Amino acid sequence: MRLAAPEGGLYGPGVHRPTVGQVLGAGFSAAAGEIWVAGLGMAVAFARGLLALPAMAFLTALSWLTVVGAVGRGGGLDEIALSLAHIGGSTRARSILAGLWLAGLLLWGALRLTWVAGAMPLLAWRLAGRRGERPTFASGAAWRFHRVLPVAVAALVLGLGGQLMLLAGVVGAVAIAGPAQLSSSPGVVAFVTAGALIAATVIATSLSVLGDVAVARASMAGEGPGVALTRAARSFLARPAAFLTVVLVVWLATTLAFGSLQGFLGALAGTLRGGPRALLVFPEMALAVVGALLASAAEMWRLSAVGALALGDQPEREPRRMSLRTESFGSLPPSQ
């Protein structure tokens, strides 16, 4: 495994065919060691709501002016409702609203990719046993963004394709549910339908994981879009069960942690019901903040574990031992 550093160095050759437990442990240690980066990810998550404010402000202001104008003309509720309906029928208003919403969405996507491009070299440096010069978040964001962007777009297309496939399977299952009850062998139809839904779910999940692998390779190893996607497909097809298990374990751990947090803050809110109402806001705010921080840390864990599994599976490299105690996935850094 050779992880390219953003300044031109590499993080070094690493372990050959790591196990699921090894990459999960090393990925968790890497994410925990750079937990401050999860704080930046939390800020990016909150920025999504802030970037939607211009579109909401435009719609609110336009609706308010429309209502004021209708009331000023002496119109009643019917005229107000008709005036508000005209906003939806106005091509100009719809275009401005769509443009503001799309601009906010694209800007948030750029911020998120910048966070991924800056965070992953730091995680790769820790996965490689902290060999060589420590990369900076700014250098990773500057030098890896152009590599991560096209791969992230391809990953988005893969994810959407998987979701559409799953949706088609669900719609097909619902469509044949009625006629299947009238058939001579409803059990066979139900078995085939269940098998098709399971297959669609596995394929959709696999496509999403494949996108994660490609993003991890582009951001950690500095691979170009074509190389990252090709080698990601090769790595995934070599060990599909390992990649799916890693993603499933991270998802289960995150879900359990968030559920425990929600239960604790719910119990805390119950103890505060007899006090001032202002105190009831605290558990909700804490849940939002800690939940966003947990989601960012889980994404760092997932991408670092998936990247270590993909980049560590290099059959042409000499097998090396890995120490989870030292988080060693590599040795000395060559050049990019």
Q: Is 229 domain-assigned?
A: yes
Name the least confident of 79-88, 150-159, 277-286, 319-328.
319-328
pLDDT for position 197: 87
Of residues 176 and 292, more confidence is placed in 292
Place of tokens 């590499």: 10
195-197-198 Cα angle (round to 5): 65
CB atoms within 10 A of CB 248: 12
Beta-bridge mates of residue 335: 9
Structure confidence by residue, pLDDT tens digits, 175-196 = 777 676 666 777 777 788 888 8
pLDDT for position 274: 66
Structure confidence by residue, pLDDT tens digits, 54-65 = 989 988 888 888
pLDDT band at 17 (very low <50, low <70, confident <90, very high): confident
d(CA 219, CA 145): 8
**Eight-class DSSP state of 219:** H
Q: Is 110 domain-assigned?
A: yes
Q: What's the domain count of the chain? A: 1
Q: Is 82 domain-assigned?
A: yes
Q: Look up the domain containing 155 and give its range.
A: 20-312
Of residues 3 and 304, more confidence is placed in 304
Q: How would DSSP label each residue in 166-182?
A: HHHHHHHHHHHHHHHHT
Structure confidence by residue, pLDDT tens digits, 121-148 = 999 888 887 777 888 899 889 888 989 9
Q: Is 280 domain-assigned?
A: yes
* Sequence-distant (≥ 6) Cβ neighbours of residue 60 within 8 angstroms: none
pLDDT band at 242 (very low <50, low <70, confident <90, very high): very high
pLDDT band at 209 (very low <50, low <70, confident <90, very high): very high
Name the least confident of 84-93, 244-253, 301-310, 313-322.
313-322
3-class secondary structure, 121? helix
The chain-wide mean pLDDT, for the chain, equals 80
* Sequence-distant (≥ 6) Cβ neighbours of residue 279 within 8 angstroms: 272
43-49-54 Cα angle (round to 5): 125
CA 186 to chain centre: 40
Q: Is 332 domain-assigned?
A: no
Q: Is 13 domain-assigned?
A: no
Of 97, 103, 107, the closest CA to residue 57 belongs to 97
Q: Is 15 domain-assigned?
A: no
Q: Is 36 domain-assigned?
A: yes
